[in-house]
Amino acid sequence: MQSKDLINQKLNTIIHLINNIMGRMKELFIEQQQELEYRGAEDAMIHGLSRKAREEYIEEGDTPCPNCNMPTLLRNESNAKCTECAQEFVYVDGGALRFL
């Protein structure tokens, strides 16, 4: 009877230890998942900001509009548009403007 109690006590201790280890592993797993999610969100944010920077229109300044000859071109990394006649252009090889 006494040795059975001792075995039960030891088993309880082992189960307790296993529960602790499982709990800690679960915590670590959740932390890891949260970190991955956070990194994903950060990457998406950086990607969004750089995309916005590439697409943002600024004043072209030097080139007059090939359509209406007014110095009213806005450009971004790949496109240009005229605020006077609303013509849109795309930059081709060598920086030349092509009508869209």
Q: To which H or E segment does residue 77 belong?
A: none
Q: Are 98 and 87 in contact (CB under 8 A)?
A: no
For Zn ion, which residue of 60, 80, 81, 82 counts as binding (CB under 5 A)? 82
Tokens representing 3? Answer: 């040795």
Which of these segments, 25-33, 34-42, 55-63, 76-84, binds Zn ion (CB under 5 A)?
76-84
Which of these segments, 16-24, 36-44, 50-58, 67-75, binds Zn ion (CB under 5 A)?
67-75
- Where does 1-100 show beta strands of DSSP type E? 58-59, 73-75, 79-82, 88-91, 97-99
Tokens representing 58? Answer: 């600024």
Q: Which is nearer to Zn ion, 65 or 97 (CB)?
A: 65
Residue 100 interacting with Zn ion (CB under 5 A): no
> Which residues of this chain interact with Zn ion, rule CB under 5 A?
65, 67-68, 82, 84-85, 87
